[in-house]
Structure 1
Amino acid sequence: MSAPGLASASAPRLGASWWPRPTVLYWLLALVVAVLVLYPLVILFAASVVTGQPGQWGSFTLRAYKPWLGGFDLLPILFNSVVFSGSRLFIGLVFALLFAWAVARTDVPCRRTMAMLIPVPFFIPDLLTGISWLMLGNPQNGLINQFARDWFGASGNVINLFGWGGLIFHSSLNTISLLFLMLVGFFYSMDSSYEEASVTLGASKYRTVFTVTLPMLAPAILGLSVLTFAHGLESFENPLLFGNPGGVYVFANEIYRMLNYRHPPQYSEATSLSVVLIVITFALIWLQWRKLGGRSFSVVSGKGYRPTRMRLPQTARWTIFGLFVVYFLLAVVVPLVQIVVSSFFPIFGMYRWEHFTFNNWVAVFSDTRAMNGLRNTVVYATVAAIATVVIGGLIGYIRVRTSHWLGRQLELLAWTPWTLPGIVLGLALLWAWALPPPPFNLYGTATVIVIGFIVKGLPLGTATLQAAIHQVSRELEESSRVHGGSWTATVRLVLLPLMRRGVLAAFIVVFALASRDLTIPLLLYRGGTETLTVALLYYYEEGMTSTLSVVAVIQLLLIFVLLGLDRLIRGREARGAQDN
């Protein structure tokens, strides 16, 4: 039996005898992926050393790097970015470790409910919950401040989410959810015999956690911490909503400020700062690979074991559950209730039964911007998801079913966008597709937004489809070949039906990523091509809270429909596996 992902000598190659020139397909696919991924990156690096703007090169110069590398302008941005990323990582890691350990290793109450609900904030866009929290906690007319003044006679602001406080508070809520998703599996799969041995030798339960459990997971925690820190450096929505009004500028919102709030736009400086951010991000990823790549860390032994749960004192059990309740209220219930309630009242903050109305909803369905945004979001995300499934599926097939050297290179190319901050990817696409002559000049068109969604969805789409292909035995394709089936017939009649759930899951993942993305359409849209997220930001900046709330609820419904479909697919897969 050959190892997964490696082709044995007898394994069928892609079109080995029934596809005339398989290498032609390999190189065509490599060309497509290079145009999608490498071309914008190369143009971005080149644009950082010229004086022009998107659409024209200008002359060669290194002047754009002078403020960042030759002066002190980079230091406050770098300091703010490190403080922001480090703070959200620390808070997220503390609570994610606590919740993951409690759910997987202890008898905390309602642990199944906790395991199901803690990941929910990860799937809700930061833009939506961030706007909702600002409706509650902004210093001008936030509902919390209004309530404190009206009911308790408070003078001044009780809460001000502009600046560092709101930035770290809101970004940490999503970080907890993300880290929990990635850590809980390690706690579930870890052999509990090590902890049992520690307790048997006289160590207390809590000492065992800090001297056995956490050290065993240290490599995973370190690796995830580096990735989360890098993700914090590229965060955009939170710095835009909370940082800009409070004068806190990190990499992402500083790049956006130079492009949209400076006249004329400082394209050269923004591009050079993007290159600096890429270098820092790649350095962090390389550091993680350097420290952990090629090393083996085992938390699951070869002998059988039955995971046991630690019995906690009643005070500890209910304290942890209480922390979860507070977290879920802050991350999900409070912001979503505020958005939904606001959508049924004409005046923000005037929530009385006599003012209840459906007029906001009626108005939105006749609002050109909102309806364009909804239509464009669905169309762009659908096209991008279909294209990503095709490209990612071909990459996965070549990587898994052949031994051609391009398979590994295509896989690496497909994962490259994972390391690119969204604002940087948007700027790279802006430069790349504003330069070519017609008809290849896509600046301001819907096509360039779809291309951006394809590039952003390529890593997870490829990984999902590659896993699906791994699950289909080679023998089934070999049987089709022996009976005279062509490659296209084998894929259509054998492979695709067997991996249809994986294909649908990849489609949903990419569609969800595209429908909630802000950075790519924000930099690339022109009148008539805006998406729902762009419309949402527009209504917020214009103070149209009633329309904003309705559009936000529509986006929420779209996301929950996708999550429901994904859960349905996974449930069917699990039942199918049990039946087999």
Structure 2
Amino acid sequence: MLNNSMVYAAGAAALGTGLGALLAWIVARTNTPGRALVELMPLYPILMPPIMKNIAWILLLAPKSGILNNMLQQYFGVELQVFNAFSLAGMIWVFGLACVPLGYLFLLPIFLSFDPSLEESAYIAGSKPLNTMFRITFPLAIPALLSAFVLNFLRALRSFETPVLQGTPAGIKVFVNRVYDSVALEFNTGLATAYSMVLVVLSVITLLFYVRATRFSERYATITGKGYRVKAVDIGKWKYVTFLAVLGYFLVGIAIPFVVLIVVSMIPYFDYDTFMKFPSNIVFSNYYTVIHHPSFVTGLYNSLVLSTLIAIVTVFAGIVMAFTIYRTRTYGAKVFEFIGTLPLAFPPLVLSVGLVIIFLGTPLYNSLWALGLGLFVAYFPYAFRNASGSIVNIHKELDEAAWVHGAKWRHVFFKITLPILKPSVGGALFYIFVEAIRNVDVAVLLVSPGHEYGPVTLFEYFRVGQWAEAAAGGVIYLVILIVAVTVAKVAFNIKFSL
């Protein structure tokens, strides 16, 4: 189990970070055509809920019923089951693709601010662009690469959907699916707690490794007081290859899985022959079934309401705590800062197990209050760290000027600090809303009949074999997220590119 967990997490992190770094290098350091489009392509896959990516890739890569294996057999006569979604390799592939946007976002600012004189010296010495990338550019970005790798490693170690949907059917045990099975199937909270503690220890060891590995990160500094202008490298005809590389990721990252979900949602049921008859057998009965199913309707309503409320409450509470710590002389500020960040050390499913144990036998058990509290605990650290970083950047002289004129702290907070934080608040609201409305790992152990949560309902659809209904519900959720992006762009002027 430990070996499976480590191989899965390390493989997915390596794939996601490596591919994200390559895409960031292409966008920032080369003259790849269509820059305005190319820099956004690696980010679009964020919009698709994680559980829907798993469902789409299972439909594509399943050994017997999978679309790709059947296509190989039908058109090329390949009897061997080449692809297998229910394997460690399949798990690494699916979650590795989900890790690419984080690697891309971490490395893109580094490459955009890179001192080009180092690369120029290599080119003068006769080095080719690809050789320069591997020998100079990437080695100098090691701290950022390590940061992205460690975070992706932790995300994979804590991920829920991929191990449960792809690992469990094949008997591939990792700590997360054992925690879930111990509570949901075996009703053994003691065993779940033991597995959870191993997960926490692995997370702490990973963070300690990262701190130790980057303790000499100043050696990799390239931004100095010396002025320079960042410019793209002319890679000649290879620029069309790099464009195809970005386009290829866009296709496998969101376009192909989304098309599969669209088609499956509009056929009577899923099997390969029925899939290939589309669009002659197009139906909309799956959407009708989903929209009129009490569990989905209740779950959709609860997820919309709770996600909105959790986003507002966590962001406001995070700003208040950050303001109190960094702008007042409250006793024990560092203790509050530690408490506010502590939940990051616990995988979301572990937090869910803890809440189940705490609320068992109380009126809060199997209630929306418990689910809301679980989401709040899981996402508050992100709101707090976002607010902390923004408040630190606001000079204290603005607050002091108000206090000199007799303003109370609440006036300083609402009249000065909060208006300045508007862009940061908008970004945090959007991020937490999107993450909460897609969440499965916190909610899966806290829902109950009458208190459903949308993504968990989709998870249950798939678990019982209602694949077409799950696809229809996933398309509905993706439309909601696209609307959320549009609203965020208009209301808060959020930029989704650099």
TM-score (norm. length: structure 2): 0.91
Correspondence 1:564 to 2:492: no
Correspondence 1:427 to 2:360: no
Correspondence 1:380 to 2:311: no
Report 1:332-347 matches (<5 A): 332-347=254-269
Query: Which amino acid letter does the alignment assign opposite residue 456 of structure 1?
Result: A
Correspondence 1:299 to 2:225: no
Instruction: Report the alpha carbon displacement of residue 487 of structure 1 after superposing the two structures with TM.
Output: 2.7
**Residue number in structure 1 paired with 2:23:** 99
**Residue number in structure 2 paired with 1:464:** 386
**Residue number in structure 2 paired with 1:117:** 41
**Residues of 2 paired with 1:405 and 1:123: CA distance?**
42
**Residues of 2 paired with 1:290 and 1:325: CA distance?**
37
Provide the alpha-carbon RMSD of the alignment: 2.5
**Residue number in structure 2 paired with 1:358:** 284
**Residues of 2 paired with 1:223 and 1:572: CA distance?**
25
**Residue number in structure 2 paired with 1:89:** 13
Query: Which amino acid letter does the alignment assign opposite residue 376 of structure 2?
Result: I
> Any conservation in 1 of the 2:30–2:232 contact (CA below 8 Å)?
yes
**Residue number in structure 2 paired with 1:414:** 340
| Structure 2: runs of 5+ lacking an equivalent | none
> Any conservation in 2 of the 1:501–1:569 contact (CA below 8 Å)?
no
**Residue number in structure 1 paired with 2:59:** 135
Report 1:168-207 matches (<5 A): 168-207=92-131
The 1:348–1:501 alpha-carbon spacing in structure 2 relative to 1, beyond 3 Å, is same
**Residues of 1 paired with 2:414 and 2:20: CA distance?**
43
Instruction: Report the alpha carbon displacement of residue 130 of structure 1 after superposing the two structures with TM.
Output: 0.8
Instruction: Report the alpha carbon displacement of residue 378 of structure 1 after superposing the two structures with TM.
Output: 1.1
Correspondence 1:286 to 2:208: yes
Q: Deviations over 1:512-565 (max 9, x none)?
A: 121111011101111111211110011111222232122101111222222233
The 1:218–1:496 alpha-carbon spacing in structure 2 relative to 1, beyond 3 Å, is closer
| Structure 1: runs of 5+ lacking an equivalent | 1-76, 575-580
**Residues of 2 paired with 1:428 and 1:389: CA distance?**
23
User: Which structure would you say has the larger Rg?
Assistant: 1
Query: Which amino acid letter does the alignment assign opposite residue 232 of structure 2?
Result: R
Query: Which amino acid letter does the alignment assign opposite residue 221 of structure 2?
Result: S
Instruction: Report the alpha carbon displacement of residue 412 of structure 1 after superposing the two structures with TM.
Output: 2.6
The 1:536–1:401 alpha-carbon spacing in structure 2 relative to 1, beyond 3 Å, is same
Greater shift, 243-252 or 483-492, is seen at 483-492
> Any conservation in 1 of the 2:13–2:150 contact (CA below 8 Å)?
no
Query: Which amino acid letter does the alignment assign opposite residue 83 of structure 2?
Result: I
Match of 1:266 among 188, 191, 194: 188
Q: Deviations over 1:57-109 (max 9, x none)?
A: xxxxxxxxxxxxxxxxxxxx111111111212222233222211111111123
Greater shift, 390-399 or 118-127, is seen at 118-127
Match of 2:148 among 197, 213, 224: 224
Query: Which amino acid letter does the alignment assign opposite residue 293 of structure 2?
Result: D
Report 1:483-502 matches (<5 A): 483-502=405-424
Instruction: Report the alpha carbon displacement of residue 157 of structure 1 after superposing the two structures with TM.
Output: 3.9
Instruction: Report the alpha carbon displacement of residue 442 of structure 1 after superposing the two structures with TM.
Output: 1.8
Query: Which amino acid letter does the alignment assign opposite residue 179 of structure 1?
Result: G
Instruction: Report the alpha carbon displacement of residue 140 of structure 1 after superposing the two structures with TM.
Output: 4.0
Match of 1:323 among 245, 256, 260: 245
The 1:195–1:153 alpha-carbon spacing in structure 2 relative to 1, beyond 3 Å, is closer
**Residue number in structure 2 paired with 1:578:** none
Instruction: Report the alpha carbon displacement of residue 158 of structure 1 after superposing the two structures with TM.
Output: 4.9
**Residues of 1 paired with 2:492 and 2:240: CA distance?**
31
> Any conservation in 1 of the 2:49–2:474 contact (CA below 8 Å)?
no
The 1:355–1:277 alpha-carbon spacing in structure 2 relative to 1, beyond 3 Å, is same
Instruction: Report the alpha carbon displacement of residue 149 of structure 1 after superposing the two structures with TM.
Output: 4.9
**Residue number in structure 1 paired with 2:233:** 310
> Any conservation in 2 of the 1:395–1:407 contact (CA below 8 Å)?
no
Match of 1:449 among 359, 371, 376: 371
Correspondence 1:539 to 2:461: yes
> Any conservation in 2 of the 1:108–1:321 contact (CA below 8 Å)?
yes
The 1:403–1:216 alpha-carbon spacing in structure 2 relative to 1, beyond 3 Å, is farther
Query: Which amino acid letter does the alignment assign opposite residue 231 of structure 1?
Result: R
The 1:569–1:146 alpha-carbon spacing in structure 2 relative to 1, beyond 3 Å, is same
SS at match of 1:119: helix
Q: Deviations over 1:200-243 (max 9, x none)?
A: 34444444333322221122222332232222221221111111
Instruction: Report the alpha carbon displacement of residue 404 of structure 1 after superposing the two structures with TM.
Output: 4.1
Query: Which amino acid letter does the alignment assign opposite residue 295 of structure 2?
Result: R
**Residues of 2 paired with 1:484 and 1:564: CA distance?**
41
The 1:180–1:541 alpha-carbon spacing in structure 2 relative to 1, beyond 3 Å, is same
**Residues of 2 paired with 1:293 and 1:568: CA distance?**
41
Correspondence 1:237 to 2:161: yes
Greater shift, 483-492 or 276-285, is seen at 483-492
> Any conservation in 1 of the 2:102–2:148 contact (CA below 8 Å)?
no
> Any conservation in 1 of the 2:286–2:468 contact (CA below 8 Å)?
yes
**Residues of 1 paired with 2:17 and 2:423: CA distance?**
33
> Any conservation in 2 of the 1:163–1:247 contact (CA below 8 Å)?
no
Report 1:47-86 matches (<5 A): 77-86=1-10
Correspondence 1:390 to 2:316: yes
**Residues of 2 paired with 1:284 and 1:110: CA distance?**
38
Count, aligned residues: 491
Correspondence 1:508 to 2:430: yes
Instruction: Report the alpha carbon displacement of residue 112 of structure 1 after superposing the two structures with TM.
Output: 3.3
Greater shift, 442-451 or 153-162, is seen at 153-162
**Residue number in structure 2 paired with 1:369:** 295
Correspondence 1:522 to 2:444: yes
Instruction: Report the alpha carbon displacement of residue 432 of structure 1 after superposing the two structures with TM.
Output: 2.3
Instruction: Report the alpha carbon displacement of residue 153 of structure 1 after superposing the two structures with TM.
Output: 5.7
Greater shift, 363-372 or 221-230, is seen at 221-230
The 1:572–1:318 alpha-carbon spacing in structure 2 relative to 1, beyond 3 Å, is closer
The 1:470–1:569 alpha-carbon spacing in structure 2 relative to 1, beyond 3 Å, is farther
**Residues of 2 paired with 1:214 and 1:143: CA distance?**
37
Q: Deviations over 1:339-389 (max 9, x none)?
A: 122222223253434432333323322110110110110111122122212
**Residues of 2 paired with 1:244 and 1:564: CA distance?**
37
Query: Which amino acid letter does the alignment assign opposite residue 434 of structure 1?
Result: L
**Residues of 2 paired with 1:572 and 1:125: CA distance?**
20
**Residues of 2 paired with 1:522 and 1:138: CA distance?**
24
Correspondence 1:212 to 2:212: no
Instruction: Report the alpha carbon displacement of residue 508 of structure 1 after superposing the two structures with TM.
Output: 1.9
TM-score (norm. length: structure 1): 0.79
> Any conservation in 2 of the 1:461–1:509 contact (CA below 8 Å)?
no
**Residue number in structure 2 paired with 1:30:** none
Instruction: Report the alpha carbon displacement of residue 290 of structure 1 after superposing the two structures with TM.
Output: 2.8
Instruction: Report the alpha carbon displacement of residue 259 of structure 1 after superposing the two structures with TM.
Output: 2.2
